[in-house]
């Protein structure tokens, strides 16, 4: 091996090591995304199974486990405290595909027969029906049974405005905050998203929850593995040119 070719090989050591480290990272990220894909598929399957199962009693507040119990289909008996409902700003799917309705979600305390209170998201009302007096036919008075999906209290995101309890302005379903503002005690740390009522013509309308968790991990895995292939190709071309230049210098 000539001196120029040995020098070319030595020049490839540093970029080669850097490329190997980068390749290991890219392959690791791709493999991790495949593992996340399997985890997400199991999660989606569990959520769909729980949300479509026959309704059961919700967990006791001290036994609530968000990971295990959220999205469980539940049934509770009791009566609504309609004078303490809370409106939360929100959007709902309109009758026209791709068009959303602006309005509110109606969160109403529900006094359980067994004792204690749970917030029930009874569903959506359009802005023009914000006032309870304009939708009196949709109020449920007296003993009743509610079925729905168990959900955790909704945390306020970075771009979500702060609530104004004094004015009744809420932008996320904050169970502890709403309970405190309404003077409620012994409130469960979760809420129930009420099921839709077939043939319902009154407001609010339940069944707004859409179990649609994104699962793009396969695309992410392809991206990382694709970058790994590109890295191998680029380094191979770089090494070939470097060695070819050394051979050219030797024969000159």
Segment 133-151 shows an average pLDDT of 96
**45-77 pLDDT tens trace:** 887 888 888 999 999 999 999 988 999 999 999
More confident residue, 152 or 15: 152
**Going by C-beta distance under 8 Å and a sequence separation of 6 or more, which residues neighbour residue 203?**
123, 124, 125, 126, 129, 135, 138
* pLDDT-derived band at 41, boundaries 50, 70, 90: confident
* Residue that has been written with the tokens 């090494």 in this structure: 239
Under the phi-then-psi rule, with left for phi > 0, alpha for psi from -120 to 50, and beta for the rest, what region is 226? alpha
pLDDT digits (tens, 9 = 90+) for 19-34: 999 999 999 999 999 9
């Amino acid at each position: 091996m000539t001196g120029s070719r040995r020098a070319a090989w030595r020049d490839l050591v540093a970029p080669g090591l850097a490329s190997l480290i980068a390749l290991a990272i890219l392959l690791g990220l791709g493999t991790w995304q495949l593992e996340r894909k399997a985890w997400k598929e199991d999660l989606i399957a569990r959520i769909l199974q729980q949300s479509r199962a026959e309704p059961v009693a919700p967990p006791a507040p001290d036994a609530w486990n968000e990971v295990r119990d959220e999205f469980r289909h539940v049934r509770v008996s009791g009566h609504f405290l309609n004078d303490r409902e809370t409106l939360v700003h929100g959007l709902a799917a309109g009758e026209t595909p791709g068009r959303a309705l602006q309005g509110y979600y109606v969160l109403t305390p529900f006094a359980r027969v067994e004792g204690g209170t749970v917030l029930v998201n009874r569903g959506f009302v359009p802005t023009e029906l914000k006032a309870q007096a304009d939708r009196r036919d949709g109020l449920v008075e007296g003993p009743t049974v509610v079925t729905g999906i168990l959900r955790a209290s909704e945390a306020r995101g970075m771009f979500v405005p702060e609530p104004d309890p004094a004015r009744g302005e809420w932008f996320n379903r904050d169970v502890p905050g709403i309970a405190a503002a309404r003077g409620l005690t012994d409130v469960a740390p979760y809420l129930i998203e009420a099921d839709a009522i077939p043939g319902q013509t009154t407001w609010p309308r339940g069944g707004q929850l859409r179990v649609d968790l994104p699962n793009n991990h396969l695309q992410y895995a392809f991206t990382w593995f694709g970058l790994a292939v590109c890295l191998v190709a680029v380094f191979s071309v770089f090494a070939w040119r470097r060695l070819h230049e050394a051979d050219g210098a030797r024969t000159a």
